[in-house]
Amino acid sequence: MAQITLIEAVTQALAYEMARDPSVVVLGEDVGVNGGVFRATQGLQEKFGELRVLDTPLDETTIAGVTVGMAAQGMKPVAEAQFEGFIYPMMEQIACHAARLRNRTRGRITVPAVWRAPWGGGIRAPEHHSEANEHLFTNIPGLRVVMPSSPARAYGLLLAAIRDPDPVMFFEPKRIYRQYKEEVPDDGEALPLDVCFVLRDGTDVTIVTWGAQVKEALEAADELAAEGISAEVIDVATLTPLDFDTIAESVQKTGRCVIVHEAPKTAGFGAEIAARVAEECLYELLAPVERVTGYDTHIPLFRLEMKYMPSTERVVEAAKRTLAVS
Amino acid sequence: MSIAAKFEIEYLQYLDAEGNQVRDDLPAFAKDLDHMVELYKLMMSTRVFDAKSVALQRTGKLGTYASCLGHEAAHVGIGSAMKPEDVFAPSYREYGAQLYRGVQPREVYMYWGGDERGNDYQKEPARHDFAWSVPIATQCLHAAGSALAFKIRNEKRVAVCTIGDGGSSKGDFYGAINITGAQNLPMVAVIVNNQWAISVPRKIQSGAPTLAQKGIAAGLFSIQVDGNDIIAVRKAMEDALDRARNGQGGSVLELVTYRLSDHTTADDARRYRGEQEVKDAWAKEPMKRLRAWLVAKNVWDDAKEEAWKAECDEWMDNEVNAYLETKTQPVTAMFDYTFAEVPADLAKQRDLALSLDKKAH
């Protein structure tokens, strides 16, 4: 079996589901002949034709609104926002329509659509190409916000997102698009959208993260292990609706919690997790919750961007601080 | 000098403000006088319905309501031209079209009366239409998306959206007509130009002499129509729907009419427009001219008018009663339609709301 990267796993999932379900269509800018600027839709137009892999006019509002309309009339569109930083014009259609049509029509109209977007920084891209803004979507009721962190989870979660009867934001951490390869059987098996994944068992401290930062979290766990500290690493994967039980179970066991994310700190999704830990795990906590996040600044242009990102070192230090307390 | 492109915008009218026929080539549907009487009757029931809605609001039985007074020809013309299998994406005052497509007055009352079930249209073909869309012009893209779905599935159906003169300023409208032209989609965008976007007059929306010509830029057939003349509206709609259904592309129709009411019951139009303007607009309103034309053809008279009005009153009273008898939804309703299934995390909040509600009773 071939080993594939995260971006190839996205393509594999799209191709599988398009072959299985004729109502699945892909639309966006440059998704056709060019196969997407990151090649996520490589070869799909040749296989499924110009109508099912549709190059749209260059207008994000159009992509988002047409996606709502198609989904409402029985299609399963997978729309691409070329970069997370270009997603803002789509937000009215997503918040006012996609996420609330089921509710405001008492289930008469539904929007089983997926919005994919290459997310986050770290690839030396131009301005507006490196945003991490998942927290702007996690506060919208009726929306699922999903972020894979490995080729296998990209494949399984994207299949689940397309099959889900409700709208899903599928944010792809582009820094790890080609970070490594793994075997991903093309078996059409979806992963659950309602659970966090415990990637590494540990007993001393819980590191909670998602997306590209899973890389730093696992590296930090390795470094901590070398010093005799056992870190549990949780990939939240589906931010909303949140499976807090998995996080609570871990924090109640370890008594320590480090939350890692790339987005700015204030009102980032880490704030929600920290608040929940305070609500549900306070008496088991042995140390204050730590957050290792992007700063409350715009992500710098690329000469400084890696100094903005939560580093492995920062995660290790935060974990050690929680251990220093008791 | 070489010309890269040339265009002109036709203005379509059959009946003038007094009900005089200004051209002889009546379309086939207008020669069927029984049908014309049916259209007049629906325009009238729309007006009776609208007056009832305003009265309900004024007596505290409805929340804010957006009246359709003066739009009867435009809305009934749109609704009556569409086929059941077509899809309608309205804004929030196109009741004349929606009643034609099976929306029940009680559903309108429920929506403006604070109950989401008003958007759950029970009868076809309205059941597969879109719900009212308050964010301006966003529904235009839903129509374009529906039309794209029809094209992909090779279905002979057309999606119709309506917007106001103000709505035609928005990017969603341009985006919708743009992709309709680029992909040759079966979509008809109808600008119901009623001269006012709340307090902002038509001239502040655009420097273009017609709003119809915006469709030219998208490569669509574009026409301006007397929106108070139902024969003209219906004819322009039929032609646009035929072209779209036959793969000949989308259209932009500008129906020129006038909002005789306030924007909504929360608005007071006296703050921004003169009495004379409104008086002049009443002289051109859509019911009067069609009535004069039907009376001249000997198919309508005062007795019929009174009898139909009484029937409308009875229908609306029945609808109002059904609305007033509708019990408020349980508190859990706000949770139960957020997702297909209530997620475990949300179920905890649902339980909380339920327990608080029980305590309050």
Cβ contacts of B74 within 8 Å, gap of 6 or more: B96, B190, B192, B227, B228, B233, B255, B257, B286
Query: Which residues of chain B does A68 touch, with a Cβ-Cβ cutoff of 8 Å?
Result: 141-142, 145
Residue A140 three-state SS: coil
- The residue ranges of every structural domain in chain A are 3-183, 197-325
Same domain, B40 and B105: yes
Phi-psi region of A169 (alpha: psi -120 to 50; beta: other; left: phi over 0): beta
Chain B segment 160-199 residues within 8 A of A by beta carbon are: 171-172, 175-176, 178-179, 182-183
pLDDT at A326: 66
Same domain, B208 and B336: no
Please indicate, yes or no, if residue B120 is contained in any of the structural domains: yes
Cβ contacts of A99 within 8 Å, gap of 6 or more: A111, A140, A141, A142, A143, A167
Please indicate, yes or no, if residue B97 is contained in any of the structural domains: yes
Nearest Cα to Cα of residue A268 among A85, A168, A139 = A139
Same domain, B92 and B169: yes
**What's the one-letter identity of residue A320?**
K
Say whether residue A44 is in contact with chain B using an 8 A CB cutoff. Answer: no
B343 contacts A105? CB cut-off 8 A? no
Nearest Cα to Cα of residue B140 among B79, B84, B188 = B188
- Percentage with pLDDT > 90 across chain B: 99
Instruction: Tell me the C-alpha to C-alpha distance, in Å, between residue B143 and each of A62, A235, B157.
Output: 11, 39, 11
Same domain, B241 and B201: yes
The side-by-side arrangement of strands in the sheet containing B221-226 is B10-12, B221-226, B251-256, B187-193, B159-164, B87-89
Bridge partners (DSSP) of residue B88 are: B160
Query: Which residues of chain B does A193 touch, with a Cβ-Cβ cutoff of 8 Å?
Result: none
Reported pTM = 0.97
Nearest CA in chain A to B137: A65
pLDDT at B360: 82
Q: Distance, in angstroms, between A141 CA and closest chain B CA?
A: 7
Question: Mean of the pLDDT values across residues B57-80?
Answer: 97
Q: Distance, in angstroms, between B116 CA and closest chain A CA?
A: 5
Same domain, B283 and B336: no
- Topology (CATH) of A3-183: Rossmann fold (3.40.50)
Please indicate, yes or no, if residue B21 is contained in any of the structural domains: yes
Quickly list DSSP for A160-186.
HHHHSSS-EEEEEEGGGTTS--EE---
**What's the one-letter identity of residue A4?**
I
Nearest CA in chain A to B143: A69
Same domain, B141 and B278: yes
Work out whether the CA dihedral A286, A287, A289, A294 comes out positive or negative. negative
Hey, how many other C-beta atoms are within 10 angstroms of the C-beta on A89?
A: 18
Say whether residue B303 is in contact with chain A using an 8 A CB cutoff. Answer: no
B143 contacts A101? CB cut-off 8 A? no
Please indicate, yes or no, if residue B5 is contained in any of the structural domains: no
Please indicate, yes or no, if residue B125 is contained in any of the structural domains: yes
**What's the one-letter identity of residue B316?**
M
Question: Which of B127, B143, B334 lies nearest to residue A69, judging by beta carbons?
Answer: B143
Q: Which of B75, B101, B263, B291 is flagged as catalytic?
A: B263
The reply to whether CATH 3.60.15.10 applies to domain A197-325 is no
Domain range for B63 is 10-329
Please indicate, yes or no, if residue B164 is contained in any of the structural domains: yes
Question: Which of A59, A96, A105 lies nearest to residue B175, judging by beta carbons?
Answer: A59
Distance CA A268, CA A132 (A): 10
Query: Which residues of chain A does B171 touch, with a Cβ-Cβ cutoff of 8 Å?
Result: 59, 61, 89
Residues A181-214 pLDDT 10s? 999 999 999 999 999 999 999 999 999 999 999 9
Q: Three-state SS across B146-160? A: HHHHHHHHCCCCCEE
Give catalytic residue positions of A: 129
Residue A266 reports pLDDT greater than 90: yes
Element holding A291 (H helix, E strand): strand A290-294
Chain B segment 10-29 residues within 8 A of A by beta carbon are: none
Please indicate, yes or no, if residue B135 is contained in any of the structural domains: yes
Please indicate, yes or no, if residue B28 is contained in any of the structural domains: yes
Instruction: Tell me the C-alpha to C-alpha distance, in Å, between residue A81 and each of A17, A30, A313, B316, B324.
Output: 19, 10, 32, 47, 46
Q: Distance, in angstroms, between A63 CA and closest chain B CA?
A: 9
Tokens encoding A311: 């580093």
pLDDT at A325: 79
Query: Which residues of chain B does A29 touch, with a Cβ-Cβ cutoff of 8 Å?
Result: none
Nearest CA in chain B to A242: B345
Chain-centre distance for alpha carbon B289: 20
Q: Distance, in angstroms, between A250 CA and closest chain B CA?
A: 17
B179 contacts A61? CB cut-off 8 A? no
The side-by-side arrangement of strands in the sheet containing A238-240 is A53-55, A24-28, A76-80, A114-119, A168-173, A144-146, A238-240
Residues A107-117 pLDDT 10s? 999 999 999 99
Say whether residue B340 is in contact with chain A using an 8 A CB cutoff. Answer: yes
Distance CA B244, CA B184 (A): 9
Chain A segment 61-80 residues within 8 A of B by beta carbon are: 61-62, 64-75, 77
Same domain, B66 and B198: yes
Chain A segment 240-299 residues within 8 A of B by beta carbon are: 241-245
A96 contacts B135? CB cut-off 8 A? yes
- State the pairing for strand pair A3-4/A182-183: antiparallel
Chain A segment 224-243 residues within 8 A of B by beta carbon are: 241-243
Question: Which of B142, B171, B337 lies nearest to residue A69, judging by beta carbons?
Answer: B142
Cα angle for residues B2, B7, B11 (degrees, 5° grid): 155
Same domain, B141 and B193: yes
Same domain, B270 and B337: no
Alpha helix (H) ranges present in B164-201? Answer: 171-182
Q: Which of B47, B142, B243, B259 is flagged as catalytic?
A: B259
Phi-psi region of B247 (alpha: psi -120 to 50; beta: other; left: phi over 0): left
Structure ipTM: 0.96
Distance CA B177, CA B211 (A): 13
A216-227: buried (b, 16+ CB within 10 Å) or exposed (e) per residue? Answer: bbbebbebbeee
Interface test with B, best of A25, A55, A70 (most B CBs within 10 A): A70
Q: Is B106 a catalytic residue?
A: no
Distance CA A220, CA B212 (A): 62
Question: Which of A62, A74, A166 lies nearest to residue B149, judging by beta carbons?
Answer: A74
Chain B segment 94-133 residues within 8 A of A by beta carbon are: 116-117, 119-121, 127-128, 130-131, 133
A266, burial (CB in 10 Å: exposed 0-12, middle 13-18, buried 19+): exposed
Tokens encoding B347: 């179920």
Question: Which of B131, B148, B339 lies nearest to residue A104, judging by beta carbons?
Answer: B131
Task: Give how many domains chain B has, as a whole number.
Answer: 2
Quickly list DSSP for B323-357.
HHTPPPPPTTHHHHTTSSS--HHHHHHHHHHHHHH
CATH number at residue B135: 3.40.50.970
Instruction: Tell me the C-alpha to C-alpha distance, in Å, between residue A13 and each of A20, A21, A154, A261, B350.
Output: 11, 12, 8, 26, 34
pLDDT confidence band for B167 (50 / 70 / 90): very high
Q: Distance, in angstroms, between B295 CA and closest chain A CA?
A: 42
Query: Which residues of chain A does B146 touch, with a Cβ-Cβ cutoff of 8 Å?
Result: 69-70, 72-73
Same domain, B354 and B230: no
Same domain, B218 and B335: no
Distance CA A271, CA A284 (A): 19
Distance CA A273, CA B117 (A): 35
Q: Is B259 a catalytic residue?
A: yes
Higher-confidence residue of B298 and A326: namely B298
Average pLDDT, chain A: 97
Residues A279-288 pLDDT 10s? 999 999 999 9
Query: Which residues of chain A does B349 touch, with a Cβ-Cβ cutoff of 8 Å?
Result: none
Nearest Cα to Cα of residue B124 among B85, B151, B182 = B85
Residues B229-248 pLDDT 10s? 999 999 999 999 999 999 99
Nearest Cα to Cα of residue B190 among B168, B208, B206, B171 = B168
Same domain, B313 and B349: no
Nearest CA in chain A to B89: A69
